[in-house]
């Protein structure tokens, strides 16, 4: 029934058609563009400019702009410009995956990206937004793990503490799970904004084996996360094998993967929202398992139910039919008991079943509604999508911030991957290959002030922006006042204390700029600002200023390479002017004793020279062996910040090459064969290949053999690695080439109409079409930046 409308989408912009199923009282506007594919995420710039940033899997960052209440189009297509372009590794789920904005973006214009740089390396990169163009590219965190396949993460955001957070999954092979603290895989990580590990990270052990970035752990595939406005709490959406899970995550928390999904024991966090991957859970009720007393019904299941507060449950088949119906879980007194609210006389019965909702099979981006356009009951609600079902889900929260209800809210949003709330108060969602972004808004909001956002974060000494517009055209001029109603006087309205709206400009975004003055204390400043106009309900914006008065160490790099017998240097400055003199020490804290700090072991920074570069010199003595030495030099402010510099000392003695990789000895006709030869030696070896057939070739520099066999048989290959030091290393092997297999049936999966259980854990076992869609798109899923806080 959607074929005609889907065809129209491809032709251009449609004004408010009902293309997907949204609730009564809401409507859609679909903006289309061929450039919006494949999309991995989106985020609105928090500067009041009305610019919507999109991340493409292939490495481009695109920007669309809102003008006069709508996104700008060129002809019938959404108009976009290119902000930046990265060279990325796009296999499976890799690519450009996440975007976030600095909490002081209104001043410093910093934009952060999470990307897969190579098959073995991911990075966090920072750009400066210079009039819509990304400049001053800086790699902040390099060498983040990936296996070049799935579960590579991509969630990135700025927390309420002003720190940089990101999340990576288990790389599809179980890396970093359970008690492993050496890898940031299967973790949420946290850094200072210069990319260095935060000193107060829970597992930061300095020179010990732990990875200093780790903040929380036990996540299988955390594509997305978001910070809750007002509370600053981190909600992590993790794609599962058997359950899709949303965790309210704190420092040091463990979500239990690889051992647990929705059955975490004491000592682990449990999901606040969960649903069965591509299915439902059914639990039988005991013979006396339905008891209503005082408006509360208690259900008892025959086995552990795994239900969560706020989850929607359908009860059927109870002997007393008055107990049947849909319920939201109010509490979980025990693993086999759950309660709900139900009016009616006290009664008891039993039998029947309790069944959960089917919400999909691959959870994607989520966002809290932090604006005023939607009805009041939507404020603070949490929305998230599911890639497999194309559904949007709405969760409401109770006064204590626990989940009150979870409901399927809208459907038909193909391959939905991300959503955000716009400065116009509308909800925006985008699909991976839909080539469109959809705007959802009420059909008749009524005249009101549209304020976005209602919770803002500033950096002390910095600025932050929220926007105001009207919901409808007025018949006369409206003068809107913005003023601090309560809180700290260090937070002020720097611009936009009075805003004038007329019948001509009512739908244009007008900026309010808040400023946070620097002070001497260490406490976060807070204030409430009232936005008001006679005749309309006022709105309140809550602002909090991040306070960090401590100076930090700034080093240009945390890795240093040098030759044996030589010296190398690195520089040190402070991040801000200290209140007094600061002594900084530099010393070898781990590794080979041939490495020493020859000068700069003690540096002194003062309020006058804090930003003057000082130098530390490292020396590496010669030795008799041919091994590569390594060491760690720690630079520290006693009782304060510390940085560890990894030193690699290259032995200069020539070493003959040795091939250390194991060849792939099977191939299939028509399927590309790839074997990456690895060899050690000094200098680095180059490679050559001989073959018994035409076709195989090798890259002389990186040793990659590429070849697509054309016929079955046995092929003799011989690889030679040479570097001018005798002898060369030779590896001879045979490749058995077999004929391509034939399809065993009429269905795309080889004859069966039911998918096998998803051994890869992608959560995509929704039948053949679902699997194909996954292969064509879910490699792009990623988690995204956090907002709010």
113 and 226 in a single domain? The answer is yes
* Percent of the chain whose predicted confidence (pLDDT) is above 70: 91
CATH of residue 626 = 2.60.40
Mean pLDDT for the stretch of residues 442-452: 96
436 and 533 in a single domain? The answer is no
More reliable by pLDDT, 588 or 486: 486
134 and 233 in a single domain? The answer is yes
Mean pLDDT for the stretch of residues 721-741: 96
Q: Looking at residue 338, what DSSP letter applies?
A: E
Name residue, tokens 């039919």: 321
Distance separating alpha carbons of residues 43 and 754, to the nearest angstrom: 38
Residue 566 tokens, joined: 């030589």
- Which range marks the domain in which residue 725 is found? 670-738
135 and 83 in a single domain? The answer is yes
For residue 580, how far is the Cα from the chain centroid? 39
Distance separating alpha carbons of residues 288 and 290, to the nearest angstrom: 6
Confidence of residue 211 (pLDDT cuts 50, 70, 90): very high
182 and 84 in a single domain? The answer is yes
Mean pLDDT for the stretch of residues 446-475: 96
End-to-end Cα spacing for the chain: 42
Distance separating alpha carbons of residues 8 and 433, to the nearest angstrom: 16
583 and 495 in a single domain? The answer is no
Span 391-435, pLDDT tens digits: 999 999 999 999 999 999 999 999 999 999 999 999 999 999 999
Mean pLDDT for the stretch of residues 621-639: 81
Q: Is residue 83 part of a domain?
A: yes
7 in helix, strand or coil? Answer: helix
Distance separating alpha carbons of residues 393 and 367, to the nearest angstrom: 11
Q: Is the pLDDT of residue 390 over 80?
A: yes
More reliable by pLDDT, 624 or 305: 305
Q: Is the pLDDT of residue 200 over 90?
A: no
State which of 424, 442, 460 marks the end of a domain.
442
Domains held by the chain: number = 5
- Pairing between β-strand 224-227 and β-strand 403-410 as defined by DSSP bridges: unpaired
Residue 665 tokens, joined: 């000895």
Per-residue model confidence (pLDDT) at position 19:
56
Q: Which residues contact residue 653 at a Cβ distance below 8 angstroms, ignoring those fewer than 6 apart?
A: 626, 682
State which of 526, 546, 566 marks the end of a domain.
546
Confidence of residue 786 (pLDDT cuts 50, 70, 90): very low
Q: Is residue 219 part of a domain?
A: yes
Confidence of residue 576 (pLDDT cuts 50, 70, 90): confident
Torsion from C-alpha of 23, 29, 32, 38, nearest 10 degrees: -40
Mean pLDDT for the stretch of residues 311-335: 98
266 and 129 in a single domain? The answer is yes
Span 583-605, pLDDT tens digits: 999 998 888 889 999 999 999 99
Residue 218 tokens, joined: 């036990």
Name residue, tokens 């003690």: 602
Q: Is residue 649 part of a domain?
A: no
Backbone angles phi, psi at 462, to 5 degrees: -115, -165
* Lowest pLDDT segment from 523-532, 563-572, 735-744: 735-744
Confidence of residue 652 (pLDDT cuts 50, 70, 90): confident
Q: Is residue 171 part of a domain?
A: yes
In this structure, the number of other CB atoms found within 10 A of the CB of residue 623 comes to 16
249 and 331 in a single domain? The answer is no
532 and 564 in a single domain? The answer is no
Q: Is the pLDDT of residue 367 over 90?
A: yes
* Lowest pLDDT segment from 75-89, 377-391, 627-641: 627-641
**Residue-wise burial string across 261-294, b where 16 or more C-beta atoms lie within 10 A, e elsewhere:** bbebeeebbbbbbbbbbbeebebbbeeebbbbee
Mean pLDDT for the stretch of residues 691-719: 96
Q: Is residue 782 part of a domain?
A: no
**Residue-wise burial string across 374-388, b where 16 or more C-beta atoms lie within 10 A, e elsewhere:** beeebebbbbbbbbb
Q: Is residue 66 part of a domain?
A: yes
Confidence of residue 524 (pLDDT cuts 50, 70, 90): confident
635 and 574 in a single domain? The answer is yes
- Pairing between β-strand 629-636 and β-strand 666-668 as defined by DSSP bridges: unpaired
Computed over every residue of the chain, the mean pLDDT equals 90
CATH of residue 527 = 2.60.40.10
Q: Is the pLDDT of residue 775 over 50?
A: no
Distance separating alpha carbons of residues 440 and 22, to the nearest angstrom: 8
Q: Looking at residue 739, what DSSP letter applies?
A: P
Q: Is residue 46 part of a domain?
A: yes
Which of 60, 125, 62, 65 is CA-nearest to residue 95? 60
Distance separating alpha carbons of residues 286 and 301, to the nearest angstrom: 6
Q: Is residue 568 part of a domain?
A: yes
Per-residue model confidence (pLDDT) at position 484:
98
CATH of residue 293 = 2.40.30.20
Span 237-264, pLDDT tens digits: 999 999 999 999 999 999 999 999 999 9
221 and 335 in a single domain? The answer is no
Per-residue model confidence (pLDDT) at position 639:
58
State which of 324, 339, 356 marks the end of a domain.
356
Q: Is the pLDDT of residue 773 over 50?
A: no
620 and 676 in a single domain? The answer is no
Residues forming beta bridges with residue 385, ordered by sequence position: 392
CB 152 within 8 A of CB 122: yes
Mean pLDDT for the stretch of residues 37-59: 98
CB 510 within 8 A of CB 469: yes
């Amino acid at each position: 029934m959607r074929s005609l409308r889907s065809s129209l989408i491809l032709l251009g912009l449609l004004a408010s058609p009902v293309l997907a199923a949204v609730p009564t009282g809401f409507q859609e506007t679909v903006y289309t563009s061929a450039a919006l594919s494949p999309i991995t995420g989106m985020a609105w710039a928090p500067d009041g400019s009305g610019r919507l940033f999109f991340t493409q899997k292939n490495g481009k960052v695109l920007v669309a702009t809102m003008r006069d209440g709508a996104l700008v189009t060129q002809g019938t297509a959404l108009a976009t410009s290119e902000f930046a372009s990265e060279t990325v590794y796009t296999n499976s789920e890799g690519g450009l995956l996440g975007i976030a904005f600095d909490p002081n973006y209104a001043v410093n214009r910093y934009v952060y990206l999470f990307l897969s740089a190579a098959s073995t390396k991911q990075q966090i990169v920072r750009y400066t937004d210079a009039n819509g163009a990304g400049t001053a590219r800086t790699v902040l965190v390099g060498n983040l793990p990936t296996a070049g396949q799935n579960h590579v993460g991509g969630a990135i955001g700025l927390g309420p503490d002003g720190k940089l957070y990101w999340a990576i999954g288990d790389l599809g092979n179980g890396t970093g799970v359970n008690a492993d603290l050496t890898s940031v895989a299967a973790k949420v990580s946290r850094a200072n904004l210069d990319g260095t590990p935060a000193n107060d990270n829970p597992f930061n052990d300095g020179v010990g084996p732990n990875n200093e970035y780790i903040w929380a752990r036990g996540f299988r595939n955390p594509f997305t996360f978001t910070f809750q406005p007002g509370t600053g709490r981190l909600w992590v959406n993790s794609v599962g094998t058997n359950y899709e899970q949303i965790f309210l995550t704190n420092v040091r928390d463990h979500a239990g993967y690889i051992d647990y999904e929705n059955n975490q024991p004491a000592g682990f966090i449990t999901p606040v929202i969960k649903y069965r991957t591509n299915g439902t859970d059914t639990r039988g009720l005991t013979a006396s398992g339905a008891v209503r007393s005082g408006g509360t019904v208690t259900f008892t299941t025959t086995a552990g139910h795994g239900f969560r507060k706020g989850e929607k449950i359908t009860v059927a088949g109870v002997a007393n039919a008055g107990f049947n119906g849909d319920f939201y879980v109010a509490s979980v007194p025990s693993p086999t008991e759950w309660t709900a609210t139900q009016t009616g006389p006290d009664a008891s019965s039993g039998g029947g079943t309790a069944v959960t909702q089917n919400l999909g099979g691959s959870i994607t981006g989520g966002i809290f509604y932090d604006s005023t356009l939607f009805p009041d009951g939507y404020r603070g609600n949490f929305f998230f999508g599911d890639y497999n079902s194309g559904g949007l889900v709405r969760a409401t929260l109770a006064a204590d911030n626990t989940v009150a209800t979870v409901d399927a809210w809208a459907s038909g949003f193909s391959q939905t991957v991300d959503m955000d709330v716009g400065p116009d108060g509308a909800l925006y969602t985008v699909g991976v290959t839909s080539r469109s972004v959809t705007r959802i808004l009420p059909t008749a909001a009524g005249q009101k002030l549209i304020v976005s956002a209602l919770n803002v974060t500033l950096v002390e000494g910095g600025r932050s922006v929220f926007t105001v517009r009207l919901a409808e055209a007025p018949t006369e001029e409206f003068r809107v006042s913005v003023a601090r109603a309560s809180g700290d006087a260090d937070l002020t309205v720097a611009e936009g204390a009075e805003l004038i709206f007329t019948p001509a400009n009512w739908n244009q975004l007008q900026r309010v700029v808040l400023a946070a003055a620097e002070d001497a204390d260490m406490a976060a400043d807070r204030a409430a600002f009232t936005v008001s106009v006679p005749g309309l309900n006022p709105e309140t914006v809550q602002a909090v200023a991040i306070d960090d008065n401590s100076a930090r160490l700034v080093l240009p790099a945390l890795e240093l390479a040098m030759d044996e017998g030589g010296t190398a240097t690195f520089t040190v400055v402070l991040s801000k002017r200290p209140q007094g003199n600061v002594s900084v020490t530099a010393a070898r804290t781990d590794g080979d004793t041939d490495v020493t700090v020859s000068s700069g072991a003690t540096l002194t920074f003062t309020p006058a020279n804090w930003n003057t570069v000082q130098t530390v010199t490292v020396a590496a003595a010669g030795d008799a062996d041919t091994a590569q030495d390594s060491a760690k030099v720690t630079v520290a402010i006693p009782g304060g910040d510390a940085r560890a510099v990894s030193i690699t000392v290259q032995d200069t003695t020539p070493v003959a090459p040795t091939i250390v990789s194991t060849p792939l000895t099977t191939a299939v006709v028509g399927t590309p064969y790839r074997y990456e030869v690895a060899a050690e030696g000094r200098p680095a070896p180059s490679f050559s290949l001989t073959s018994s057939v035409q076709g195989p070739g090798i890259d002389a520099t990186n040793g990659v053999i590429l070849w697509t066999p054309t016929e079955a048989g046995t092929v003799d290959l011989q690889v030679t690695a040479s570097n001018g030091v005798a002898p060369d290393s030779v590896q001879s092997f045979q490749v058995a080439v077999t004929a391509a297999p034939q399809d065993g049936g009429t269905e795309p999966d080889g004859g069966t109409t039911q998918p096998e259980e998803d051994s890869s854990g992608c959560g995509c076992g929704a039948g053949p079409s679902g699997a194909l869609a996954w292969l064509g798109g879910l490699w792009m899923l990623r988690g995204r930046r956090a907002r709010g806080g």
